[in-house]
Structure 1
Amino acid sequence: MTASSTSIRVREIEAAAARIAGHVRETPVLALESGAFDIASPIVLKLESLQHSGSFKARGAFNSLLSMEVPAAGVIAASGGNHGAAVAYAAGRLGHRAEIFVPEIASPVKVRRLRDYGAIVHQVGANYGEAFAASRRRVEETGALTIHAYDQAEVLAGQGTVAREFERQAMGLGGIDTLLIAVGGGGLIGGVAAWCAGRTSGPQIKLIAVEPERCPTLHAAFAAGEPVDVAVGGLAADALGATRVGSLMFPIARRAVDQVILVPDEAIKAAQMALWNRLRLAVEPGGATALSALLAGLYRPAPRERVGVLLCGGNVDPTTLV
């Protein structure tokens, strides 16, 4: 598989799972009690917020570094924070030099974690797009390997392993009918969609994309029929603030994503606080975005519909959970 691949196949996700085994955690799932959050349908949470570096992105980072040649100049990545942390963590574990470019809006918690992982951090630009442009200039100067946050085949295949893992874990809990996934640049839902649409056994899983109203990248792409630039902002912009979805994930999402739901910042904050106050789960706003669609009543499950929700990131300043 190369970065120019136009489709992500199940066998590539299986290969990624074998490749990264021992480097990433099998994160736990939590089946909530009946009536949790005042929702009658069964809900299963996947706690990818407990993954190495605090998010699912460690999967794509390790798959990329373990399947590509890394030059002496090391690796460069641009990120709102979580992708950079994952690349920095994986590079450090594998003995590679890492430079990470983040926008000025990046959370101080995430920037501090990047440095703790040993990365050289460049905080530049008002948004992810500007940080990405700066990272590209640095790649041209150094010849370092670049790992895109969401528009690279190795990354999508790595992220797809979380769906493979979640489905297997949920089988022991009665399975899942519907999976809610937060969307930024689309690497996560692209990998998840590739797994769910490409496998030849098991029941069909309905995929629901959830985006902040102020970061509507996939919603805008579906409306336009192609990835388009959008203005981004709001509570979850440091994690979900890509200016457009990736070109690799878009055709996969068009085939496999059933619905895109937009949620307001108020709903995201309420879900984040509900996770903390009721379950003592510390997640960042982006990590609570998928659940917010349920709690705000923007996605209403059918009776007995089993809903899986991915809590995708836990890089939160604990002082904000008050």
Structure 2
Amino acid sequence: MLVAARRIEGHVRRTPLLPPSDRDAVWLKCEFLQHCGVFKTRGAFNRQLAALETGEIGDAGIVVASGGNAGLAQAFVARELGIRATVFVPESAPEVKVARIRSYGAEVRRAGTEYAEAYQAAVDFAEEGGSVFAHAYDQFDVVAGAGTLGEEILADEPSIDTIVVAVGGGGLYAGIAAAALGRARIVAVEPQSCPTLNAAMAAGEPVDVAVSGVAADSLGARRIGKFAFAAQAAEAPVSVLVTDEEIIDARARLWSEYRTASEFGAAAAYAALTSGRYAPADGERVAVVVCGANTDPATLALGG
């Protein structure tokens, strides 16, 4: 984690940790203010800079599969570092994200109806054309980069007891869990409509889940990643599932109370608290990661 922090220093923003308000006794890690509006920029810089250090990246550049945010981050970083980027997205990827990926100069290719199909197309493309594959969430450099966010939270407020984080494929959760191991509890929050980590914990191994719901574009992995599964084995998180309605309400509250234009996936973590599905103990000091803001502003009225 420290290697990753040193490598990406100067390339990423150290996002603020907003202290509790009178109405909400939690800290908010404002990662939506990161370059590209998403935490994945950390892992993208770490992956590409590490590959440049080893000479792994050639003229074919990098390729990534994404529901939107990982593609945004990898495309942005590739532009900053002068690297060619190809991004595979499913047909369901929001146009607001696809347009931004293209604006960074990446080639966008659509494949399949969900992330898993775009992923296979990207793997095939890398094998056939020599591009370096950058995983959206299940690659050491990507996870380590995401984990720098957890290090920042605990450096800025060492007394934090609990970090609440949304889980899709689990890269952010795995990185933060590694950073917080032995220092803070992790509450892992997932939509009921795509509970990759919760299902894996129940089965004792990663398993495929159906993917649907309002947060599927950013939390819509079909199976939890190996790094996230290893993280829960090292120290089990508190696993919380929230409904689409609870996510929509939390997103609306982030907008109305904080003027934070979060996407649905980013609001999932906050929904664990606003819904009461995770109730902090008296005096428990809780930080919630609001991890992305790539959303259509016209939809912010949803939920109130």
Q: 1:166 aligns with which of 145, 153, 160?
A: 153
Contact 1:206 1:257 in 2 (8 A): no
2:237 alignment partner, SS class: strand
Q: 1:154 aligns with which of 141, 155, 166?
A: 141
What is the total number of aligned residue pairs between the two structures? 297
1:248 alignment partner, SS class: helix
Question: d(CA) in 2 for partners of 1:29 and 1:195?
Answer: 16
Q: 2:277 aligns with which of 298, 317, 320?
A: 298
Q: Deviation at 1:53?
A: 1.1
Question: d(CA) in 2 for partners of 1:115 and 1:253?
Answer: 36
Give the alignment's TM-score, normalised by structure 1. 0.91
Question: d(CA) in 2 for partners of 1:35 and 1:319?
Answer: 26
Is residue 2:50 matched to residue 1:63? no
Q: Deviation at 1:245?
A: 0.7
Partner of 1:82: 69
Amino acid of the structure 2 residue aligned with 1:283:
S
Q: Deviation at 1:124?
A: 1.6
Question: d(CA) in 2 for partners of 1:257 and 1:158?
Answer: 21
Question: d(CA) in 2 for partners of 1:191 and 1:220?
Answer: 20
- Taking the TM superposition and a 5 Å limit, the aligned residue runs for 1:5-44 are 13-36=1-24, 42-44=25-27
Q: Deviation at 1:59?
A: 0.5
Q: Deviation at 1:258?
A: 2.4
Q: Deviation at 1:136?
A: 1.2
Q: 1:105 aligns with which of 53, 70, 92?
A: 92
Partner of 1:194: 178
Amino acid of the structure 1 residue aligned with 2:10:
G
Partner of 2:292: 313
Q: Deviation at 1:166?
A: 1.1
Amino acid of the structure 2 residue aligned with 1:246:
G
Question: d(CA) in 2 for partners of 1:14 and 1:220?
Answer: 31
Is residue 2:252 matched to residue 1:268? no
The CA deviation string for residues 204-251 of structure 1, in whole angstroms up to 9 with x for no partner, is: 311010000001000000011111111110000000000001112211
**Percent of pairs with identical residues:** 51
Partner of 2:212: 233
Is residue 2:258 matched to residue 1:279? yes
Amino acid of the structure 2 residue aligned with 1:106:
A
Contact 1:215 1:233 in 2 (8 A): yes
Give structure 2 stretches of 5+ with no counterpart.
none
Give structure 1 stretches of 5+ with no counterpart.
1-12, 37-41, 199-203
Contact 1:217 1:242 in 2 (8 A): yes
2:67 alignment partner, SS class: coil
1:234 alignment partner, SS class: coil
1:129 alignment partner, SS class: helix
Give the alignment's TM-score, normalised by structure 2. 0.96
Partner of 1:3: none
Contact 1:208 1:257 in 2 (8 A): no
Q: Deviation at 1:151?
A: 1.1
